[in-house]
Copies of this chain bind each other. A is one copy, B any other.
Amino acid sequence: VSTSTPRTRYRENIRAEIKELALTQITESGAAGISLNGIAKRMGMTGPGLYRYYSCRDELITELILDAYRELAEAVRACETIADPRQRLRSAALAIRDWALAHPQRYLLIFGTPVPGYRAPADTTAITRAIMAVLLDGFAQLHPVDPDATDLIDHLTHHHWAGDHAASPAALRRALAFWTRAHGVLSLELAGHFTGMGFDPALLYAADIDALLR
């Protein structure tokens, strides 16, 4: 973008600072606790001043969600260069986990309990699809495994999602399992449901994903 006058650069910085503080608000008070007034106060500004940067609270939340989706997709896409599909999928799983642990609020903002009354932007499905494409490619290149879940695979044969990406039902089935298993461990871990159980969630995560890659 060539619109880089001092003023627009300044605006970008402020917008970034606002988002940064919004994330700490989520950490402290949950997604519903995002408040323009609160952010302004921490920046040494008054509330209305923020309306120069975001026209309303929902616009800020939308941008936070889209940013998070994009960052996660980028982390996954960074694994695309790995030639071996098994290694690629394994490192994609690790990339997702690393990102989720590094940015728990962001992860839960996307995949956690939906923000009440807030409708997620439509653009997110395109990003989801981009992530899915990496998984589908990977599983398509993995040698096929013994048939399981025939019910589900039959079902998926008649439902063409995944856009123009004509994935085999078996690959789609595994990609979906990849997603749900990763999320299962991650969301329980982030919500603190494993604390006090004295085992390492990383190993559980790896085991659950590896079972899909054998």
Contacts and interface: CB of A to CB of B under 8 A. Distances in A.
Nearest to A27: B116
A117 B28 CA distance: 7
Interface of A is mostly: helix
Nearest to A114: B191
Contact of A192 (B114, B173, B176, B192): B114
Given A29-B117, A32-B30, A113-B108, A187 B197 contact: no
A196 interface: yes
B116 A198 contact: no
Contacts of A192: 114
Interface in A36-84: none
Given A30-B117, A148-B210, A211-B211, 14 more contacts: A28-B117, A30-B32, A33-B116, A111-B193, A112-B113, A113-B191, A114-B191, A159-B198, A177-B204, A179-B188, A180-B184, A180-B185, A180-B188, A183-B188
